[in-house]
Amino acid sequence: MADPDCLFCKIVEGEVPAEIVRQGERTVAFRDINPQAPTHVLVIPRDHHPDAASAAAHDSGLLDALVRDAHEVAVAEGVDETGYRLVFNTGAGAGQTVFHLHAHVLGGRGLNWPPG
């Protein structure tokens, strides 16, 4: 299900390097190249889906695995107790720039609300 033109598919395949922090059965987690917080990890499905809504529509259970794995990343990073933010930007107007579903796991500092 890999898209040959997709950057994050290439990271899953090992064709583009990334600082991988967790390899799950259904997901891969790696550090964001432009971190916005002391912990900023992206958790992505191995399969290509453009966004969370598309994954929910086509692969029942995938988002459960993604959220579980994102929480395991937060535990491993030591931000589960202080709190972390899980973000799915959906659509260019909301800041999505890579159209392969990814959960941002952000933590390690105070996080303002509402987000900018």
Q: Which residues bind Zn ion (CB under 5 A)?
A: 3, 6, 8-9, 48, 100
CA count, 13 A, side-chain hemisphere, 99: 8
Question: Which helix H or strand E contains 12, and what residues bound it?
Answer: helix 7-13
Q: Of 20 and 76, which has the nearer Cβ to ligand AMP?
A: 20
The answer for residues whose C-beta is within 8 angstroms of residue 59's C-beta and 6 or more apart is 45, 47, 49
- Near ligand AMP by CB under 6 A, which window of 32-40, 47-55, 58-66, 107-115? 32-40
Q: Is 48 a catalytic residue?
A: no
Q: Of 60 and 113, which has the nearer Cβ to ligand AMP?
A: 113
92 near ligand AMP (CB under 6 A) = no
**Contact of 41 with 21, CB cutoff 8 Å:** yes
Sole binder of ligand AMP in the list 3, 32, 59, 80 (CB under 6 A): 32
Partner touching 59 among Zn ion, ligand AMP, none, CB below 5 to 8 Å by kind: none
Query: What is the rounded CA–CA span in Å between residue 9 and residue 61?
Result: 20
Active-site positions? 102
